[in-house]
Amino acid sequence: MIIIGKNMDPIRSLIHCFALAAVLLSSSVSAQADVDRLNTPALPSYRADQTLMLDIAKHGDQLLAVGDQGVVMRSSDQGQHWQQVQTPFSVMLTSVFFTDAQHAWLTGHDGLFAASQDGGMTWQKLLDGDQINRLRLQRLQAIAAELQSQLDAEPDNESLMMRSDDATWYAEDAAAAVEEGPSIPLLDVWFADQQRGFALGAYGLLLKTDDGGQSWAYWGDRLDNPDNFHLNAMMADHRGDLYIAGEAGLLFRSTDKGMHWIRIDTPYEGSFFSITEFKQQLFLMGLRGHLYRSDDGIDWQAVKTGYQATLLSAVAEADKLVLLGQGGLIIESADGQHFTPLDSGGRRSLSAGVAVDGGYRLVGEGGLLSLEAGDE
Protein backbone atom coordinates (compact mmCIF):
# COMPACT_ATOMS: atom_id res chain seq x y z
CA MET A 1 0.00 0.00 0.00
CA ILE A 2 1.08 3.53 -0.66
CA ILE A 3 1.25 6.99 0.80
CA ILE A 4 1.29 10.42 -0.81
CA GLY A 5 3.77 13.20 -0.02
CA LYS A 6 4.20 14.46 3.49
CA ASN A 7 2.90 17.98 2.99
CA MET A 8 -0.25 17.22 1.02
CA ASP A 9 -3.53 18.34 2.55
CA PRO A 10 -5.35 15.29 3.93
CA ILE A 11 -8.69 15.92 2.19
CA ARG A 12 -6.97 16.52 -1.13
CA SER A 13 -4.88 13.39 -0.54
CA LEU A 14 -8.01 11.30 -0.13
CA ILE A 15 -9.56 12.70 -3.30
CA HIS A 16 -6.39 11.93 -5.22
CA CYS A 17 -5.49 8.73 -3.40
CA PHE A 18 -5.10 6.87 -6.67
CA ALA A 19 -3.06 9.52 -8.40
CA LEU A 20 -0.18 7.66 -6.76
CA ALA A 21 -2.32 4.83 -5.48
CA ALA A 22 -2.28 5.69 -1.93
CA VAL A 23 -3.52 7.00 1.25
CA LEU A 24 -2.83 9.92 3.53
CA LEU A 25 0.45 10.59 5.06
CA SER A 26 0.74 13.70 7.11
CA SER A 27 -2.43 13.02 9.04
CA SER A 28 -5.40 10.75 8.62
CA VAL A 29 -8.80 12.14 7.80
CA SER A 30 -10.28 9.88 10.43
CA ALA A 31 -8.07 11.40 13.12
CA GLN A 32 -9.48 14.83 12.38
CA ALA A 33 -13.13 13.85 12.14
CA ASP A 34 -15.56 14.32 14.99
CA VAL A 35 -16.32 10.59 14.93
CA ASP A 36 -13.77 8.18 16.40
CA ARG A 37 -13.55 5.88 13.41
CA LEU A 38 -11.27 3.47 15.22
CA ASN A 39 -14.22 2.56 17.42
CA THR A 40 -17.16 3.27 15.10
CA PRO A 41 -18.46 0.25 13.17
CA ALA A 42 -18.46 0.36 9.39
CA LEU A 43 -21.87 0.99 7.87
CA PRO A 44 -23.40 -1.76 5.71
CA SER A 45 -23.90 -0.72 2.09
CA TYR A 46 -25.50 -2.35 -0.94
CA ARG A 47 -22.72 -0.69 -2.96
CA ALA A 48 -19.88 -1.94 -0.77
CA ASP A 49 -18.43 -3.86 -3.74
CA GLN A 50 -17.89 -0.51 -5.50
CA THR A 51 -16.02 1.07 -2.58
CA LEU A 52 -12.41 2.12 -3.05
CA MET A 53 -10.41 -1.05 -2.26
CA LEU A 54 -6.70 -1.13 -1.50
CA ASP A 55 -5.86 -4.80 -0.95
CA ILE A 56 -7.06 -8.36 -1.47
CA ALA A 57 -5.80 -11.68 -0.07
CA LYS A 58 -6.49 -15.32 -0.85
CA HIS A 59 -6.37 -18.66 0.97
CA GLY A 60 -7.82 -21.58 -0.93
CA ASP A 61 -11.27 -20.54 -2.15
CA GLN A 62 -11.51 -17.76 0.45
CA LEU A 63 -10.93 -14.13 -0.53
CA LEU A 64 -10.83 -10.99 1.58
CA ALA A 65 -10.81 -7.45 0.18
CA VAL A 66 -10.42 -4.28 2.27
CA GLY A 67 -10.85 -0.58 1.64
CA ASP A 68 -12.44 2.73 2.48
CA GLN A 69 -14.71 3.36 5.48
CA GLY A 70 -13.71 0.09 7.16
CA VAL A 71 -15.27 -2.04 4.43
CA VAL A 72 -14.28 -5.72 4.38
CA MET A 73 -15.65 -7.91 1.60
CA ARG A 74 -15.50 -11.70 1.89
CA SER A 75 -15.96 -14.51 -0.62
CA SER A 76 -15.87 -18.27 -0.03
CA ASP A 77 -16.03 -19.23 -3.73
CA GLN A 78 -13.04 -17.45 -5.31
CA GLY A 79 -14.93 -14.22 -5.83
CA GLN A 80 -18.01 -15.52 -7.59
CA HIS A 81 -20.09 -14.07 -4.77
CA TRP A 82 -19.21 -11.48 -2.15
CA GLN A 83 -20.64 -10.29 1.13
CA GLN A 84 -19.75 -7.36 3.34
CA VAL A 85 -18.83 -8.44 6.86
CA GLN A 86 -19.34 -6.36 9.97
CA THR A 87 -16.30 -4.57 11.34
CA PRO A 88 -15.99 -2.56 14.59
CA PHE A 89 -14.04 0.25 12.86
CA SER A 90 -14.54 2.54 9.88
CA VAL A 91 -11.07 3.89 9.06
CA MET A 92 -9.47 3.36 5.67
CA LEU A 93 -8.16 -0.22 5.51
CA THR A 94 -4.86 -0.63 3.68
CA SER A 95 -3.76 -4.29 3.69
CA VAL A 96 -4.96 -7.82 4.48
CA PHE A 97 -3.07 -11.10 4.94
CA PHE A 98 -3.95 -14.78 5.52
CA THR A 99 -1.76 -17.21 7.46
CA ASP A 100 -4.23 -20.10 7.18
CA ALA A 101 -7.92 -20.64 6.48
CA GLN A 102 -8.96 -19.26 9.87
CA HIS A 103 -6.38 -16.61 10.74
CA ALA A 104 -6.31 -13.30 8.88
CA TRP A 105 -4.89 -9.87 9.66
CA LEU A 106 -5.51 -6.35 8.41
CA THR A 107 -4.11 -2.85 8.84
CA GLY A 108 -5.50 0.63 8.37
CA HIS A 109 -5.31 4.32 9.11
CA ASP A 110 -4.75 5.67 12.59
CA GLY A 111 -2.49 2.71 13.33
CA LEU A 112 -5.25 0.13 13.15
CA PHE A 113 -4.28 -3.54 13.37
CA ALA A 114 -7.03 -6.15 13.59
CA ALA A 115 -7.22 -9.95 13.57
CA SER A 116 -9.76 -12.58 12.61
CA GLN A 117 -9.87 -16.18 13.82
CA ASP A 118 -12.78 -17.31 11.65
CA GLY A 119 -11.61 -16.66 8.13
CA GLY A 120 -12.52 -12.98 8.10
CA MET A 121 -16.15 -13.22 9.21
CA THR A 122 -15.50 -11.27 12.43
CA TRP A 123 -12.68 -8.91 13.42
CA GLN A 124 -11.08 -7.74 16.65
CA LYS A 125 -9.00 -4.58 16.97
CA LEU A 126 -5.72 -5.43 18.67
CA LEU A 127 -3.71 -2.24 18.14
CA ASP A 128 -4.30 1.42 17.34
CA GLY A 129 -2.32 4.60 16.85
CA ASP A 130 -2.46 5.69 20.48
CA GLN A 131 -0.79 2.45 21.56
CA ILE A 132 1.73 2.70 18.74
CA ASN A 133 2.65 6.24 19.73
CA ARG A 134 3.32 5.11 23.30
CA LEU A 135 5.38 2.10 22.12
CA ARG A 136 7.46 4.35 19.90
CA LEU A 137 7.95 6.93 22.64
CA GLN A 138 9.08 4.34 25.19
CA ARG A 139 11.60 2.84 22.78
CA LEU A 140 13.03 6.15 21.59
CA GLN A 141 13.25 7.54 25.12
CA ALA A 142 15.19 4.45 26.17
CA ILE A 143 17.61 4.92 23.26
CA ALA A 144 18.08 8.61 24.09
CA ALA A 145 18.70 7.82 27.77
CA GLU A 146 21.27 5.15 26.91
CA LEU A 147 23.17 7.47 24.57
CA GLN A 148 23.09 10.29 27.12
CA SER A 149 24.56 7.92 29.69
CA GLN A 150 27.36 7.02 27.29
CA LEU A 151 27.92 10.71 26.53
CA ASP A 152 28.19 11.52 30.24
CA ALA A 153 31.06 9.03 30.36
CA GLU A 154 32.66 10.39 27.15
CA PRO A 155 31.73 14.09 26.97
CA ASP A 156 34.31 14.87 24.27
CA ASN A 157 33.07 12.20 21.86
CA GLU A 158 31.64 14.30 18.99
CA SER A 159 30.15 11.35 17.13
CA LEU A 160 28.38 10.21 20.27
CA MET A 161 27.20 13.77 20.89
CA MET A 162 25.59 13.95 17.43
CA ARG A 163 23.89 10.58 17.90
CA SER A 164 22.62 11.66 21.30
CA ASP A 165 21.22 14.91 19.90
CA ASP A 166 19.45 13.00 17.12
CA ALA A 167 18.02 10.50 19.58
CA THR A 168 16.73 13.29 21.80
CA TRP A 169 15.05 14.96 18.83
CA TYR A 170 13.37 11.68 17.79
CA ALA A 171 12.15 11.13 21.35
CA GLU A 172 10.72 14.67 21.51
CA ASP A 173 8.99 14.12 18.19
CA ALA A 174 7.50 10.87 19.52
CA ALA A 175 6.27 12.70 22.64
CA ALA A 176 4.52 15.26 20.44
CA ALA A 177 2.84 12.44 18.52
CA VAL A 178 1.44 11.05 21.76
CA GLU A 179 -0.18 14.42 22.46
CA GLU A 180 -1.57 14.72 18.93
CA GLY A 181 -3.23 11.30 18.99
CA PRO A 182 -3.42 8.53 16.39
CA SER A 183 -2.65 9.69 12.86
CA ILE A 184 0.00 7.48 11.25
CA PRO A 185 -1.39 4.75 8.98
CA LEU A 186 -0.15 1.21 8.90
CA LEU A 187 0.32 0.23 5.24
CA ASP A 188 1.19 -3.46 5.16
CA VAL A 189 1.19 -6.60 7.26
CA TRP A 190 3.16 -9.84 6.95
CA PHE A 191 3.03 -12.92 9.18
CA ALA A 192 5.26 -15.99 9.17
CA ASP A 193 2.68 -18.01 11.14
CA GLN A 194 -0.12 -17.44 13.64
CA GLN A 195 2.27 -15.85 16.16
CA ARG A 196 5.17 -14.10 14.43
CA GLY A 197 4.53 -11.08 12.27
CA PHE A 198 5.28 -7.49 11.30
CA ALA A 199 3.23 -4.38 10.60
CA LEU A 200 4.73 -1.36 8.85
CA GLY A 201 3.75 2.05 7.61
CA ALA A 202 4.35 5.77 7.43
CA TYR A 203 7.36 7.64 8.82
CA GLY A 204 9.51 4.52 9.10
CA LEU A 205 7.05 2.71 11.35
CA LEU A 206 7.91 -0.96 11.88
CA LEU A 207 6.38 -3.17 14.58
CA LYS A 208 7.01 -6.80 15.51
CA THR A 209 4.84 -9.30 17.38
CA ASP A 210 5.59 -12.81 18.63
CA ASP A 211 2.16 -13.56 20.10
CA GLY A 212 -0.30 -13.02 17.27
CA GLY A 213 -0.63 -9.29 17.77
CA GLN A 214 -1.48 -9.33 21.46
CA SER A 215 1.69 -7.36 22.19
CA TRP A 216 4.13 -5.46 20.00
CA ALA A 217 7.67 -4.13 19.97
CA TYR A 218 8.72 -0.97 18.12
CA TRP A 219 11.27 -2.08 15.53
CA GLY A 220 11.78 1.05 13.44
CA ASP A 221 15.11 1.92 15.05
CA ARG A 222 16.56 -1.31 13.61
CA LEU A 223 16.37 0.10 10.08
CA ASP A 224 18.95 2.40 8.53
CA ASN A 225 16.27 5.01 7.84
CA PRO A 226 17.28 8.25 9.59
CA ASP A 227 14.83 10.32 7.53
CA ASN A 228 11.93 8.06 8.54
CA PHE A 229 10.87 7.44 4.95
CA HIS A 230 7.62 5.54 4.55
CA LEU A 231 7.59 1.75 4.43
CA ASN A 232 5.09 0.48 1.86
CA ALA A 233 5.41 -3.28 1.41
CA MET A 234 6.92 -6.42 2.91
CA MET A 235 7.43 -9.95 1.60
CA ALA A 236 9.42 -13.18 2.07
CA ASP A 237 11.21 -14.96 -0.78
CA HIS A 238 11.68 -18.72 -1.34
CA ARG A 239 14.77 -18.70 0.89
CA GLY A 240 12.85 -17.15 3.78
CA ASP A 241 14.66 -13.81 3.46
CA LEU A 242 12.46 -10.80 4.26
CA TYR A 243 12.28 -7.56 2.28
CA ILE A 244 10.78 -4.15 2.98
CA ALA A 245 10.27 -1.64 0.16
CA GLY A 246 9.50 2.04 0.65
CA GLU A 247 9.77 5.58 -0.60
CA ALA A 248 12.97 7.30 -1.80
CA GLY A 249 14.32 4.03 -3.22
CA LEU A 250 14.27 2.28 0.16
CA LEU A 251 14.88 -1.45 0.27
CA PHE A 252 15.79 -3.48 3.35
CA ARG A 253 16.66 -7.16 3.67
CA SER A 254 16.76 -9.55 6.61
CA THR A 255 18.26 -13.03 6.53
CA ASP A 256 17.46 -13.87 10.17
CA LYS A 257 13.64 -13.65 10.28
CA GLY A 258 13.59 -9.90 10.83
CA MET A 259 15.93 -9.61 13.79
CA HIS A 260 18.47 -7.57 11.83
CA TRP A 261 18.11 -5.58 8.62
CA ILE A 262 20.54 -4.26 6.06
CA ARG A 263 19.82 -1.45 3.63
CA ILE A 264 20.20 -2.43 -0.03
CA ASP A 265 21.32 0.15 -2.60
CA THR A 266 18.80 0.45 -5.41
CA PRO A 267 19.16 2.21 -8.78
CA TYR A 268 16.09 4.41 -8.27
CA GLU A 269 15.38 7.22 -5.81
CA GLY A 270 11.61 7.28 -6.23
CA SER A 271 9.01 5.35 -4.27
CA PHE A 272 8.66 1.59 -4.45
CA PHE A 273 5.13 0.34 -3.79
CA SER A 274 5.46 -3.42 -4.11
CA ILE A 275 7.93 -6.29 -4.23
CA THR A 276 7.20 -9.82 -5.40
CA GLU A 277 8.91 -13.04 -6.47
CA PHE A 278 8.46 -14.79 -9.82
CA LYS A 279 10.43 -17.86 -10.92
CA GLN A 280 12.84 -17.28 -8.00
CA GLN A 281 13.59 -13.74 -9.17
CA LEU A 282 12.62 -10.67 -7.20
CA PHE A 283 10.73 -7.79 -8.82
CA LEU A 284 10.61 -4.30 -7.32
CA MET A 285 8.15 -1.77 -8.73
CA GLY A 286 7.06 1.80 -8.22
CA LEU A 287 6.53 5.28 -9.59
CA ARG A 288 6.35 6.06 -13.30
CA GLY A 289 6.52 2.42 -14.35
CA HIS A 290 9.91 1.74 -12.83
CA LEU A 291 10.51 -2.01 -12.56
CA TYR A 292 13.67 -3.82 -11.42
CA ARG A 293 14.58 -7.49 -11.07
CA SER A 294 17.24 -9.33 -9.09
CA ASP A 295 18.51 -12.89 -8.75
CA ASP A 296 19.94 -12.36 -5.27
CA GLY A 297 18.12 -9.38 -3.76
CA ILE A 298 21.32 -7.32 -3.82
CA ASP A 299 22.02 -6.39 -7.44
CA TRP A 300 19.11 -4.93 -9.40
CA GLN A 301 18.63 -4.41 -13.13
CA ALA A 302 15.99 -2.26 -14.81
CA VAL A 303 13.25 -3.97 -16.81
CA LYS A 304 11.68 -1.95 -19.63
CA THR A 305 7.96 -2.69 -19.84
CA GLY A 306 7.11 -0.01 -22.39
CA TYR A 307 4.71 1.66 -19.94
CA GLN A 308 5.17 4.66 -17.66
CA ALA A 309 2.11 4.32 -15.44
CA THR A 310 2.92 3.85 -11.77
CA LEU A 311 3.12 0.15 -10.83
CA LEU A 312 1.31 -0.62 -7.60
CA SER A 313 1.14 -4.37 -7.18
CA ALA A 314 1.75 -7.76 -8.78
CA VAL A 315 0.18 -11.18 -9.09
CA ALA A 316 2.85 -13.88 -9.43
CA GLU A 317 1.84 -17.34 -10.64
CA ALA A 318 4.01 -20.31 -11.54
CA ASP A 319 4.11 -19.37 -15.23
CA LYS A 320 2.92 -15.78 -15.37
CA LEU A 321 3.66 -12.41 -13.79
CA VAL A 322 0.92 -9.78 -13.89
CA LEU A 323 1.61 -6.17 -12.91
CA LEU A 324 -1.16 -3.76 -11.88
CA GLY A 325 -1.09 -0.01 -11.83
CA GLN A 326 -2.42 3.44 -12.31
CA GLY A 327 -5.01 4.18 -14.97
CA GLY A 328 -6.23 0.58 -15.14
CA LEU A 329 -2.86 -0.75 -16.30
CA ILE A 330 -2.57 -4.55 -16.44
CA ILE A 331 0.46 -6.09 -18.13
CA GLU A 332 1.57 -9.72 -18.12
CA SER A 333 4.79 -11.61 -18.79
CA ALA A 334 5.83 -15.23 -19.04
CA ASP A 335 9.53 -14.49 -18.49
CA GLY A 336 9.60 -11.33 -16.36
CA GLN A 337 11.23 -9.35 -19.15
CA HIS A 338 8.70 -8.96 -21.97
CA PHE A 339 5.24 -7.62 -21.17
CA THR A 340 1.96 -7.40 -23.05
CA PRO A 341 -1.18 -5.50 -22.00
CA LEU A 342 -4.49 -6.92 -20.82
CA ASP A 343 -7.76 -5.03 -21.01
CA SER A 344 -9.06 -3.93 -17.62
CA GLY A 345 -12.16 -2.44 -19.14
CA GLY A 346 -11.49 1.09 -17.96
CA ARG A 347 -9.10 3.69 -16.62
CA ARG A 348 -9.63 3.18 -12.91
CA SER A 349 -6.42 2.42 -11.05
CA LEU A 350 -5.82 -1.08 -9.70
CA SER A 351 -4.09 -1.56 -6.36
CA ALA A 352 -3.92 -5.36 -5.84
CA GLY A 353 -5.06 -8.71 -7.18
CA VAL A 354 -5.04 -12.48 -6.75
CA ALA A 355 -5.21 -15.35 -9.22
CA VAL A 356 -8.27 -17.62 -9.19
CA ASP A 357 -9.36 -20.52 -11.36
CA GLY A 358 -9.76 -19.10 -14.85
CA GLY A 359 -8.74 -15.52 -14.15
CA TYR A 360 -8.10 -12.84 -11.55
CA ARG A 361 -9.89 -10.93 -8.83
CA LEU A 362 -8.67 -7.35 -8.69
CA VAL A 363 -9.35 -4.38 -6.43
CA GLY A 364 -8.86 -0.68 -6.85
CA GLU A 365 -10.47 2.66 -7.42
CA GLY A 366 -13.73 1.11 -8.65
CA GLY A 367 -13.97 -1.57 -6.00
CA LEU A 368 -14.02 -5.25 -6.95
CA LEU A 369 -13.19 -6.35 -10.50
CA SER A 370 -13.21 -9.79 -12.11
CA LEU A 371 -10.93 -10.54 -15.04
CA GLU A 372 -11.76 -13.90 -16.58
CA ALA A 373 -9.44 -15.85 -18.85
CA GLY A 374 -11.60 -15.09 -21.84
CA ASP A 375 -11.36 -11.35 -21.18
CA GLU A 376 -7.58 -11.25 -21.46
Pairing of strands 186-191, 301-302: unpaired
pLDDT cut 70: percent of the chain above it:
90
Task: Describe the crossing of helices 129-153 and 158-180 by its angle, rounded to 10 degrees.
Answer: 160
Which whole number is the average pLDDT over 66-82?
98
CA angle 140, 146, 149 (to 5 degrees): 140
Q: Are 304 and 292 in contact (CB under 8 A)?
A: no
Go through 176-185 and write b for each residue having 16 or more CB atoms within 10 A of its CB, e for each that does not: ebeeebbbbb
Residue 372 confidence (pLDDT): 85
**In which region does residue 63 sit, left (phi positive, over 0), alpha (psi from -120 to 50) or beta (all else)?**
beta
pLDDT of 25 above 80: no
Does the pTM of the predicted model rise above 0.85?
Answer: yes
Q: Are 138 and 171 in contact (CB under 8 A)?
A: no
- Give whole-number Cα distances, 80 to 66, 98, 154, in Å: 17, 19, 67
Note the pLDDT tens digit of each residue in 142-165.
Answer: 999 999 999 999 999 999 999 999
Q: Are 189 and 199 in contact (CB under 8 A)?
A: yes
pLDDT of 30 above 80: no
Note the pLDDT tens digit of each residue in 198-221.
Answer: 999 999 999 999 999 999 999 999
110 confidence band (pLDDT: 50, 70, 90)? very high
Burial tier of 159 (Cβ tally within 10 Å: 0-12, 13-18, 19+): exposed
344 confidence band (pLDDT: 50, 70, 90)? confident
Dist. CA 149–CA 162, nearest whole Å: 14
pLDDT of 9 above 50: no
3-state secondary structure of 331: strand
Note the pLDDT tens digit of each residue in 263-278.
Answer: 999 999 999 999 999 9
Residue 374 confidence (pLDDT): 59
376 confidence band (pLDDT: 50, 70, 90)? low
